[in-house]
Amino acid sequence: MAVPHTGSEAMTPDAKRSLVAALQAFLPANAVLHEDEDLRPYECDGLSAYRRLPLIVVLPSTVDQVARVLTLCRQHEVPVVARGAGTGLSGGALPLSNGVLLSLAKFRRILAIDPVNRMARVEPGVRNLAISEAAGAYGLYYAPDPSSQIACSIGGNVAENAGGVHCLKYGLTVHNVLALKFLTIDGDLVTVGSQGLDGPGYDLLALLTGSEGMLGVIVEVTVKLLPRPERAQVALGAFASVEDAGEAVAAIIASGFIPGGLEMMDGLAIRAAEDYLHAGYPVDAAAILLCELDGTSEEVADGVARVREIMERARATEVRTSRNETERLAFWAGRKAAFPAVGRLSPDYYCMDGTIPRKHLARVLTRISALSREYGLPVANVFHAGDGNLHPLILYDANKPGDLERTEELGGRILEECIAVGGTITGEHGVGVEKIGQMCLQFSPAELNQFHAVKAAFDSQGLLNPGKAVPTLVRCAELGAMHVHQGALPFPELERF
């Protein structure tokens, strides 16, 4: 039986030297990093609270090289963590101390833009925004727009099923990807998906999307492109309470039309963003909503009037609409820079990600502020309100003894609140290492059993990104979240995962 690879087993110096030599046999010397000072930049992703030096970092530049890296790791039973731009917020690309960190940073080519069929074929390291920039020449764009889009890679977006401001209307990554090429741990190249709306066989494209580097390494992505809307305008509503803003969100969605984006920021986030970027936000508001309407000029004018009416009925203290493109972009710039803006308020911040039914927005936000007081840690909220996708940002100081532990506990309790109202522990950032404990609460042993069976079908030795996304049944039992009968787990045959 294969040993589980959790990053805790050290490799002997001799074994490391021999692996480095084997990698250098087909990769240039500067594409195999193994000295501590070279490994340091890779020690964490966007969840910087957790850091670990990888054993080795490789930076291949061809699909054949990636395949050879995987085959070699498989032979040596060495775990592999794929890394895009490293902006992930759940620790999915956190290295393993006994594993190879496989960077896709050199895969930055846009292979084809097909304006007739409205699609683009790109390498996995291409930045999200670069796709829209390239497609712009044809009046097209790629809709999913994570706030990190200037930096994050499309491969990472697929692996996390990334969302963004415009996903409310246009769908998440999974709804905008047509096909993928990925390499299995055996180094086999597999193509999934097609240009058609449906195809025979299991939907492996959907399965790979959001699989957090646990099933294969994505080496090519074909995405849908959409025509740029004729016009877009943002309505900014200010509210004296988050409850009123939450009510406006529910009323906008219930009115039957779907805005291009519907985002909420609370008082702390508004003031941080305004201080940082001067977006023109009302700093005395308890919450603002940014609601974008896009389409033809008539549709936008009609939508703006309806949104204004709904916001006013929900007791908005002020409703403004962007008067031109510069102002529209300024409204969004404040929202998109909200995380770094909040980051300036304290030495560290921890970004949570949970989704709840929209009708519970006000209730959960009120509960989060009560928990914030209980733990003595400020929490700012900036989120995709239309999707019910919360992003509480917990402010803490990692240098203060106990602060990180309290932050983690507070984060866990927020996620448990999400589950309690029928929500889920992630909306777009993935599970990674961050929310792995809460997976035990959200899923039953039978459901986790199915996840492990899928993993085993792709990667029987558990070498691709082990220890992430799906908890071992043993871990759930240790957390007290799984029933252990007379010392036996419900699925003993899967204990190794």
Ligand X SMILES: Cc1cc2nc3c(=O)[nH]c(=O)nc-3n(C[C@H](O)[C@H](O)[C@H](O)COP(=O)(O)OP(=O)(O)OC[C@H]3O[C@@H](n4cnc5c(N)ncnc54)[C@H](O)[C@@H]3O)c2cc1C
- Binding string, residues 362-391; x marks residues near ligand X by CB under 6 A: ------------------------------
Binding residues for ligand X restricted to 40-79, rule: CB under 6 A: 45-46
Q: If you search the block for the tokens 């509210």, which residue do you land on?
A: 239
Nearest distance from residue 164's CB to ligand X, in Å? 5
Q: How far is the CB of 214 from ligand X (least distance, A)?
A: 8
Identify which range of 192-200, 210-218, 255-263, 354-362 contacts ligand X by CB under 6 A: 210-218
Question: Residue 465, interface with ligand X (CB under 6 A)?
Answer: yes
Q: Give the nearer residue to ligand X in terms of CB position, either 123 or 403.
A: 123
- Work out the end-to-end distance of the chain between its first and last CA atoms, rounded to an integer number of angstroms: 11
Contact in structure between 316 and 239 (CB atoms under 8 Å): yes
Residue nearest to ligand X (CB): 156
Q: What Cα–Cα distance (Å) separates residue 88 from each residue in 16, 213, 342?
A: 28, 12, 18
Report in angstroms how near the CB of residue 340 gets to ligand X at its nearest.
Answer: 6
Q: Other C-beta atoms within 10 Å of 373: how many?
A: 11
In whole angstroms, the minimum distance from the beta carbon of 278 to ligand X comes to 19
Q: Is 156 in the site for ligand X (CB under 6 A)?
A: yes
Binding mask 302-341 for ligand X (x = CB under 6 A): -------------------------------------x--
Largest separation between any pair of C-alpha atoms in the chain: 71
Tell which one of 187, 210, 213, 354 touches ligand X (CB under 6 A): 213
**For residues 70 and 242, which CB has a smaller minimum distance to ligand X in the complex?**
70
Number of chain residues interacting with ligand X (CB under 6 A)? 36
- Taking alpha carbons only, the member of 431, 384, 420 closest to residue 168 is 384
| Binding-site member from 79, 86, 187, 193 for ligand X (CB under 6 A) | 86
Report the residue from 79, 99, 155, 246 that binds ligand X according to the rule CB under 6 A. 155
CA separation (Å) from 398 to 41, 349, 350, 394, 395? 19, 9, 10, 12, 10
Q: Is 306 exposed, middle or buried (0-12, 13-18, 19+ CB in 10 A)?
A: middle
DSSP H helices, 122-187, are: 128-135, 154-160, 167-170
- Closest to ligand X by CB, 321 vs 407, is 407
434 vs 492: CA distance, rounded Å: 25
Handedness of CA 430, 434, 440, 441 (dihedral sign): negative
Binding mask 411-440 for ligand X (x = CB under 6 A): -----------------xx-----------
CB 124 within 8 A of CB 83: no
Closer by beta carbon to ligand X, 146 or else 295: 146
Whichever of 46 and 437 has its CB closer to ligand X, that residue is 46
CA 430 – CA 426 distance, rounded (Å) = 6
Is residue 104 at the binding interface for ligand X, with CB under 6 A as the rule? Answer: yes
Q: Using alpha carbons only, what angle is made at residue 305 by residues 304 and 308, rounded to the nearest 5 degrees?
A: 85
Q: Which of residues 105-134 bind ligand X (CB under 6 A)?
A: 124
Under 8 Å between Cβ of 425 and 391: no
273 near 265, Cβ under 8 Å? yes
Q: Does 179 bind ligand X (CB under 6 A)?
A: no
Taking alpha carbons only, the member of 143, 373, 338, 365 closest to residue 258 is 143
Shortest approach of ligand X to residue 256 CB, angstroms? 26
Euclidean distance between CA atoms 55 and 66, whole angstroms? 17
Q: What track of x and - describes contact with ligand X for positions 225 through 264 (by CB under 6 A)? A: ----------------------------------------
Q: In this chain, which stretch among 212-220, 261-269, 355-363, 483-491 interacts with ligand X, using CB under 6 A? A: 212-220
Residue where the block lists tokens 């087993």: 9
Give the pairing type, strands 56-58 and 100-103: parallel
Min. distance of Cβ 296 from ligand X in angstroms? 27
d(CA 367, CA 83): 35
Told to check if 462 binds ligand X by CB under 6 A, we report no
52 CB-near residues (< 8 Å, 6+ apart): 7, 43, 44, 94, 95, 96, 97
Nearest distance in Å: CB 130, ligand X? 12
* Contact with ligand X (CB under 6 A) among 7, 88, 95, 423: 88
Identity of the residue, 82 or 448, whose beta carbon is nearer to ligand X in the bound complex: 82
Nearest to 459, CA basis, from 187, 184, 218, 191: 184
Nearest in space to 313 (alpha carbons), one of 232, 249, 406, 226: 249
Of 145-153, 254-262, 277-285, 291-299, the window that binds ligand X (rule: CB under 6 A) is: 145-153
CB of 28 to ligand X, least distance (A): 20
Q: Which residue in the set 23, 44, 69, 82 belongs to the binding site for ligand X (CB under 6 A)?
A: 82
Non-local CB neighbours of 374 within 8 Å, separated by 6+ positions = none
Q: Which is nearer to ligand X, 69 or 152 (CB)?
A: 152
Q: Which residue ranges make up the site for ligand X (CB under 6 A)? A: 45-46, 81-89, 92-93, 104, 124, 146-148, 152-153, 155-157, 159-160, 162-164, 212-213, 217-218, 339, 428-429, 465
